[in-house]
Amino acid sequence: MRPLLAWTLAAAAALAAAPTAPPVSPPSNCPRLTGIWYGDNRARLQQVIDERGTCSGAGRHPVAVFDWDNTVTKNDVTDATLSWVLRHDALLRPARWKDTSPWLTEAADRALTEACGAGTPAPLRTSTNARCTDEILDIRENATTASGAPAYAGTWNHRRTVPQYAWVPQLFAGRTPDELASYARQARTEALAAPIGATRTLGTRTVPAYVRYYDQQRDLIRTLQRAGFDVYIVSAGSEPITEVWSRAIGIDPAHTIAIRSLLDRRGRITPSNQGCGNVPATRGTAIPYIDGKRCWINQEIYGVHGAAAWQRQPWPRRPVLAAGDADTDVTFVGDATGAHLVLNRNKPELMCRAYDNADGRWLINPMFIDPLPRRPDPYPCSTKAHNASDGAKDALLRDDGFVVPDQADTVY
């Protein structure tokens, strides 16, 4: 018998003869998750709570971070607020549309001016001006004018911002945060009352009319808090809007991070927003978007400032649990040390990371309401799933430098 084989057989026999350790029961004082999850996701989340929460004897409060739109809620709450605002003439006409974003093209400026007007501030009559509403919606959603011309041009870091996300808070220039929060509360009441699946006509476009909190995510957040976790929201939406929705499930403004608009001397919103790390206040250069979410987490939660805020931090300065649904969440969700929770919305970079599951801690769940069908083709991880800082799509790499192979969609 070869020595290696003999050693292997002897080791196996020794292990078989050794007494079996009794299973470890979770601490009896740890709160329990409820609700229906895909596969063993609930059990695996519970294990993280049991092992890392303060109920297990941990001295420090661990951190959990959630994206908001389509992670905690079904549908986008900033879009729901924008819908309400456009139907109630609550936007103010800018002196020049190009002042709203540094990347707005001449074609977009011209289309907005022709459809909506410009000049002396006054409420835009979007409730009766479908052409104006259509231009705003297309530039927000598709980054094009209604005629298909590019709405944004120039240079920006595509892992730190996206102009159409930054543009929504910029549209509220001239309003106060309290006014914007009031619009969000009215939009919230309306969206929660609408039946699941409801749509409405906005301009000439059809948009979702409803929003719902996911019951499972509300329960997860509540359970984490009871287990001693500090739970935060990090969103690429407008902060006064996100705060209205997060407050209703027990997350206060101090634990809600989103795009923070700068105010003028009268306390009114301007097109500029606070910066992050070594990026100063600008008109949208650094928002909570992809790597920007990591920066804002490092800066606002862990007190890391300067260029270091953009870098992955050591284990104790990273969230234990992080949850998201889109490529904008991939960096901070990947930073989590205990569990990376992903809701499957078929977003390539995030789903490639999740299915590759390099550290064995990725949990994939279909959306809890109206989940998407299976993606028919594999995710192109090896060729064009990575969002490069220059806007290119290229191969996604693991931490060790190897290319992530293409991944089939199996959780839907």
Task: Give CA–CA dist 399/412, Å, rounded.
Answer: 27
**Whether residue 119 sits in one domain with residue 221:** no
Q: Give the Cα separation of 351 and 345 in Å (integer).
A: 8
The pLDDT tens digits of the residues spanning 78-94 come to 999 999 999 999 999 99
Domain annotation covers residue 15: no
3-class secondary-structure state, position 200: strand
CA dist., res. 334 & res. 323, Å (int): 9
**Within a domain: 147:** yes
Give the tokens for residue 269.
Answer: 């919103």
Encode pLDDT of 348-383 as tens digits.
999 999 999 999 999 999 999 999 999 999 999 999
User: Could you tell me the two tokens for 195?
Assistant: 């039946």
Q: How far is CA 140 from CA 133, 134, 259, in A?
A: 11, 10, 15
Token readout for 145 is: 């004018």
> 371 in a domain, yes or no?
yes
Average pLDDT of the segment spanning 107-136: 96
Question: Whole-angstrom Cα distance, residue 6 to residue 12?
Answer: 10
Same domain? For 94 and 105 the reply is: yes
Q: Is this model's pTM higher than 0.85 or not?
A: yes
In a domain, 9, yes or no: no
- What range does the domain containing 106 cover? 77-208
Q: What is the DSSP letter of 390?
A: T
Q: How many DSSP H helices and E strands does the chain contain? A: 12, 14
* DSSP 8-state class, residue 98: G
> Tens digits of per-residue pLDDT, 215-228?
999 999 999 999 99
**41-87 pLDDT per residue, tens:** 999 999 999 999 988 776 678 999 999 999 999 999 999 999 999 99
Domain count, the chain: 2
Query: Cβ neighbours of residue 22 under 8 Å, at least 6 residues apart?
Result: none
> How far apart (Å, rounded) are the C-alpha atoms in residues 329 and 158?
13
Question: Is the domain of 262 the same as that of 373?
Answer: yes
